[in-house]
Amino acid sequence: MLRIILCCVSVFLVSCDKPASQTSNPQDGPEHAIEEIRIAAMSPGMSVMIRDLGFEDRIVAKHDYDMILGDRVPAAGSELGFDLEMLIQTDPTHVLYQTTSTERSKRFMEIAEDRNWIIFERPLNTLDDIATTMDDLHFLFNGVPQREDQQYDMNEVFAQPLPSAKLAAAWDDLGPVADAAGRVLVLGSVDPIGAMGPGSYHHQIIVRLGAAQAITDGSMWIELDYEDLIRLNPDSIVLIAPRQSSEDERFAEPIGPSPEDINRIFGPILELPINAVTNGRIGVVDHPLGLLPSASLGEVAEEIGALFTQWND
């Protein structure tokens, strides 16, 4: 929790290293009244954050692969390139996007400066990135309280819990419950078998929850075969398999797969001589946004924690 708060504070108390005309600085507070804000959310993860902060109705343009906004919001491109005509047409006050290896075009930056768009660019590579971005957006659109002498009123800033506090609670160490899960293997697919390795969001979640890792070395995505599973011999297996859902179902409480579904999903894996099978510690997290780098990973962590608790009962 302390790490998240300190990261957040440093963002709005220290000036950004990009020109002010190109990058937002949450310390300045909102430059537009709430009713004037028009957001181009060019990151699916940031769209979820904006929704959770209560500003979904301010979004006027979205990423091509956005997962939560309806047809009322037009798509305006992706990391491969923004649809400049659509952005001009939707006339945003703020353009939000995730830092990637792809640089924004010179033409986009010229248009942004000409139209006084406020650019908000952040990496979403880690859980802490997600938490601090959530807080940055909170301060960007709600402002940072100041005293009459224009100094930051830190008592007021922390008078209410920051958005990151909810995430910190969801990612908190579960203690004995996590210990009892043993060495956890997180899978992203079963055919072929693909594991979430070090550096992946879900591997980070398992670490934060206090559980041991079945895989401690390697890349963020590791393909395995049955012999690899036998060699790893995990005590527990969690499969992240987002379910398809309509807009009405998207935010419903998770039901979870039935035993019949587990048998169908895992198939031959259930015949392997590994601890997870012997102990019946195999589960599925099917949150619709379970693979998205956003605040939804807090709910994913809670579902994983629920599995740990179930296995420990």
Q: Closest Cα to residue 205, out of 280, 299, 312?
A: 299
DSSP state of 214: S
H helix runs in 77-221, sequence order: 84-90, 106-114, 127-142, 154-157, 163-170, 176-180, 201-209
For position 16, what pLDDT does the model report? 36
Tens digits of pLDDT across the chain (313 residues): 333 333 444 444 433 333 333 455 554 455 566 668 999 999 999 999 999 999 999 999 999 999 999 899 999 999 889 999 999 999 999 999 999 878 888 999 999 999 999 999 999 999 999 999 999 999 899 876 655 555 555 566 566 688 999 999 999 999 999 999 999 999 999 999 999 999 999 999 999 999 999 999 999 999 999 999 999 999 999 999 998 765 555 455 556 677 788 889 999 999 999 999 999 999 999 999 999 999 999 999 999 999 999 998 7
Q: What's at 263, amino acid-wise? A: N
| Among candidate residues 27, 25, 54, 29, the one with its CA nearest the CA of residue 39 | 54
Token pair for 212: 């041991």
pLDDT at 2 (0 to 100): 32
pLDDT of 313 = 79
Quote the pLDDT of residue 5: 38
Domains of the chain: 2-169 (3.40.50.1980), 171-312 (3.40.50.1980)
Q: Provide the pLDDT for residue 102.
A: 80
Cis previous bond, 92, omega within 30 = no
pLDDT of residue 157: 58
pLDDT for 159 equals: 62
pLDDT at res. 10: 41
Residue type, 251: F
Q: How far apart are CA 253 and CA 156, in angstroms?
A: 34
Residue 295: what pLDDT?
A: 95
- Please, what is the end-to-end C-alpha distance for the chain in angstroms? 28
pLDDT at residue 43 in the model: 96
Please report the sign of the dihedral spanned by the C-alpha atoms of residue 205, residue 211, residue 212, residue 214: negative
User: How high is the pLDDT of residue 148?
Assistant: 58
pLDDT of residue 97: 96
Q: Quick one: pLDDT at residue 280?
A: 93
Q: In the Cβ-directed half-sphere of 258, how many Cα atoms lie within 13 Å? A: 2
